[in-house]
Structure 1
């Protein structure tokens, strides 16, 4: 008993100290001019007269975000501030002690953003749309711990917002006070906060609540049509992964630039995965493309698993998998859900993957250059999507054929999900290759090195594909073609028999 009491007394000293964080976000009728005022109260681990706070200067390729932060003000005399953009740092000089209290304002740094600026704070009189990492400063000590994704606790209060100014975020609907307990980088910061003239719809799926939060009057997209597309895609994906999902999940749909005429031909749309949801932003004009919206819905939802629960150890170096295999399953799950017919799946894969890959001047660049140029060039940015999708197609069909259509890449992906849910386990190429060898009874390290890392074109051959599908290699771009009736090909390709026992657990 004495030993237990001694250990209990030591635990607070052995456990990593955590800052206590309280935020108040204040409304103003002139939000565009004044911004969202955020009050911060932090209790640090030891007395000091200066404290570093983290406020991201770059998020998801958007740079110079500290331009959106203004009005730094201490809660009492004796406060001074220094902003260090290169370090994403706010230095707060304050009266010596453990309590630090100050405020700042988050606002747009331009009256109107361009169609390519997706991840900056949007703050107007009638609405706001701000990522968690661009709204909440946290003590830098929390971001510099030895733990890769530290646990934290914070209270957020929304002050003075009118009843008709709808509040919603990835953690709660309509809450004016929230207590967050979870991980800093993958949960608290990978979140989105919106308010104002958003329309909120919801449905229940496997006793889990799914929200659709959208604003703007869309050309081609009615609220009911978008909601049904969300339901169809998410139903198929959760069934595929055999996962009911989180208790709450939100799809956000927001316009960037809206025009009623044809002054700009085309559509600029981007989706980004969030904790417990994703955000889709798009230009809104007569060129809105319903098929593009459905594709991105399916792609971004998949990131809950690929790149989410199957977390990559090496970020951009693994994008051929986390983006490429996500892209492949965006097409395959659209076929599975009935969103695409077999004929449409073939046409879409030819046009959106194979043709765009082979027309990309950078298509044979090595993987390490993709890492270096991913955020700098759209050609490099899309390369891992299409290169990885072709590799996934090849691997899927190899497993199907060699197993006599009793297993597919689907089984391997669910196996990978199971493994990556284990504490401390992340996706690595070594783990991937080990699983692939078990499912194929063959080592594909050579193919992985040559086609994914070195960037050589992966040759698709008719004998590589399942019965009923072939490929025409007579031109510069390989073309998939049906080689028989569509219905049996669909059944064979989707392999919808009861799931086979995982190879790695035999």
Structure 2
């Protein structure tokens, strides 16, 4: 009996030891090395280490579609797999690797760039790799080969020791906390600047209208506010990559969310206030819609985009990152654009179908969702509650019922807080009836009023040729632009001010006639007729006490 007990204890101890020292989970590792031509960077050499599938046939997924562009695999060359018996094409974007089952394999390939100069505004974002002689900016979907069927296998990225000592490097996958390499962003350069603020790293190239440290501090505040809003861990590392774009016409902010990261390219004429709100919107997408309901594509963008816009402004005001004046100005731009939109009465089904092809339908999703969020929040605040409580309930509901669509999750979460939203959705989203804010929608921060202004009329049509040169076409002689001295055929070197359909903001154009010198023209882009829309007016109380625009919820709101 004593021997039996001893044997049982030994077995238990062995089992406990096995649990205490589990077998290391398989990891797919990516090593990024430089391909140099003398001192200059010519390409990236990427090495991927992984184990073959259990049946000995492993399928590789090459980069293909990235931000609307197809055929990213064309930028890959010299693909080899060490340890394989063979590798054959399975269509242009896939490879079949045959080997002994479970064998350790090493994939190597060269990644070439499509841009080897400083990027301009028309380049927008590295949907395909940007690799120049002294820097690179690479988005995962356009660069990283994935092993099919490994959705649950951790991925890590490491930098090879061959990088020159004066190259600074950053990636969001250095910690190995992800399972999809295409969620990576890679940036490096001899002039790359890396700034830290708490858990945030900012990796930036080029010049902007603000200091790196100021942007990093703002980003850390945004991250802390939004993680706090959703109850996420505050110390998880987060990377923001930023590349400046040479200004050509107006301003541009391009970017995309990654795993614990955001990658962007921006013209330097955007102010820190403008960039703050744009980043607050984009980073909020870390949780909306993924934590609030099952996405449904364009039919649900009024929620995922509109509510994100609403909370980007609210949380920035709440954290003191924008002034009450800037908060009101941002809302007034939304209200003006919505009130004068030719698509204001477009039914929801049509708007969703045209989201990717009609800019007015695209913006309608942002506008309608933000305005409805403001109306519903005002109703809840009048009863001592807040829209924040609806989102809290929606997150809890999504955890219990992950297959519930985002609209249905909103309906149920709102009802749990005593708010009925179905009729508003049917009227303003489905049927397209125009939305009007009540006069007290933003009290005590601002009042809502109606304004009448001249219609926006540029007076000409900008024409862009195959080389990207913009010229003046169809100029009307009765226009303010003509009276200011603009003529057909003039080259538009730069638009410094104006645009966006705002008739109250002067247009300022730098133009050149033929081979002549450049000159600057200013005019108000106003037509002969008028238009009417809603605007916010900051209250004197909020001007003196900015916290009135924070709309902080009550700690313990009463039931409705």
TM over 0.5: yes
Specify which of 216, 223, 235 is matched with residue 234 of structure 1: 223
1:212·1:250 contact (CA, 8 Å) conserved in 2? yes
Secondary structure of the corresponding residue to residue 67 of structure 2? coil
Cα deviation for residue 368 of structure 1 reads 4.0
> What is the alpha-carbon distance in structure 1 between the residues aligned to residue 540 and residue 156 of structure 2?
60
In the superposition, relative to structure 1, how do residues 235 and 153 fare at CA in structure 2: closer, same or farther (>3 Å)?
A: closer
Q: What residue number does 1:53 align with?
A: 60
Is 1:361 the equivalent of 2:345?
no
- CA shift, 1:93, in A, is 4.8
Cα displacement string for residues 256-301 of structure 1 (whole angstroms, at most 9, x for unaligned residues): x336xxxx231111232222121221134xx333332122122122
Q: What is the root-mean-square deviation of aligned Cα atoms in Å?
A: 3.4
Post-superposition shift, 1:248? 0.8
Distance 1:447 1:118, change over 3 A: farther
Distance in 1, matches of 2:439 and 2:545, equals 14
The aligned runs of 1:309-320 (5 Å cut-off) are 309-310=291-292, 312-320=294-302
Q: Counterpart in 2 of 1:90?
A: 94
Taking the aligned partners of 2:238 and 2:376, their CA distance within structure 1 comes to 31
Q: Following superposition of structure 1 onto structure 2, how do residues 18-417 of structure 1 map, counting pairs within 5 Å?
A: 21-30=28-37, 34-48=42-56, 51-75=58-82, 79-82=86-89, 84=91, 89-94=93-98, 97-99=101-103, 100-111=105-116, 114-142=122-150, 150-159=151-160, 160-172=162-174, 180-184=176-180, 188-197=181-190, 198-204=192-198, 209-218=199-208, 220-255=209-244, 257-258=245-246, 264-284=248-268, 287-310=269-292, 312-351=294-333, 353-401=334-382, 403=383, 406-417=384-395
CA contact under 8 A between 1:412 and 1:502: conserved in structure 2?
no
Aligned equivalent of 1:437: 415
Larger Rg: 2
SS in 1 for 2:380: helix
* 2:447–2:536 Cα contact (<8 Å) kept: yes
Distance 1:233 1:78, change over 3 A: closer
Following the alignment from structure 2 to structure 1, what is the Cα–Cα distance between the partners of residues 155 and 221? 35
The answer to whether the 8 A contact 1:20-1:44 is kept is no
Q: Is the 8 A contact 1:468 1:482 kept in 2?
A: yes
Cα separation, partners in 2 of 1:382 and 1:271, compared to 1, 3 Å: farther
Secondary structure of 1:28's counterpart equals strand
SS for the counterpart of 1:35 is strand
Against the structure 1 CA distance between its residues 336 and 134, is the aligned structure 2 distance closer, same or farther, given a 3 Å change threshold? same
- Taking a change above 3 Å as real, the CA distance of residues 369 and 161 of structure 1, as seen in their structure-2 partners, is farther
Residue 335 and residue 242 in structure 1: after superposition, are their counterparts in 2 closer, same or farther (change >3 A)? same
Are 1:477 and 2:515 counterparts? no
CA distance, structure 1, for counterparts of residue 258 and residue 60 of structure 2? 23
Q: Which deviates the most, 192-201 or 353-362?
A: 353-362
Deviations 1:332-368 (A, max 9, x none): 12221223333332222011x1112234333443444
- Residue 455 of structure 1 is matched in structure 2 by 432
Deviation of 1:37 (Å): 1.7
Alpha carbons of 1:22 and 1:298: their partners in 2 closer, same or farther (altered >3 Å)?
A: closer
* Superposition deviation, residue 132 in structure 1: 2.7
Higher mean displacement: 335-344 or 362-371: 362-371
Question: What CA distance in whole angstroms lies between the structure 2 residues aligned with 1:43 and 1:231?
Answer: 38
Aligned twin of 1:15: none
Measure the CA separation in 2 of the matches of 1:47 and 1:32: 43
Q: State whether residues 313 and 426 of structure 1, in contact with CA within 8 Å, keep that contact through their aligned partners in structure 2.
A: no
TM-score (norm 2): 0.71
- Measure, in 2, the Cα distance between the counterparts of 1:332 and 1:314: 25
- Contact 2:135 2:189 survives alignment (8 Å): yes
8 Å CA contact retained: 1:73, 1:104: yes
Is the 1:271–1:281 contact (alpha carbons within 8 Å) kept by the matching residues of 2?
Answer: yes
Pair 1:335–1:21, CA change in 2 (3 A): closer
Deviations 1:187-239 (A, max 9, x none): x43231222232111122xxxx2211111133x12222222322343344344
Give the whole-Å Cα distance in 2 for the aligned partners of 1:303 and 1:38. 30
Contact 1:325/1:388 (8 A) holds in 2 = yes
Is the 8 Å Cα contact of residues 151 and 181 (structure 1) preserved in structure 2? no
Question: Matches of 2:443 and 2:201 in 1, distance apart?
Answer: 38
Structure 1 residue 311 displacement after superposition? 5.3
User: Residue 338 of structure 2 contacts residue 364 of structure 2 at CA under 8 Å; is this kept in 1?
Assistant: yes
Distance in structure 2 (CA, Å) of the matches to 1:254 and 1:265: 17
TM-score, normalisation: structure 1:
0.78
Tell me, which stretches of 5 or more residues in structure 2 are unaligned? 1-7, 16-24, 453-531
Give 1 or 2: higher helix fraction: 1
Tell me which residue corresponds to 2:512: none
Equivalent pairs counted in the alignment come to 454
- Which of 406, 409, 426 pairs up with 1:428? 406
Shift of 1:22: 3.7
Q: Indicate how the Cα distance of structure 1 residues 412 and 363 shifts in structure 2: closer, same or farther if over 3 A, else same.
A: same
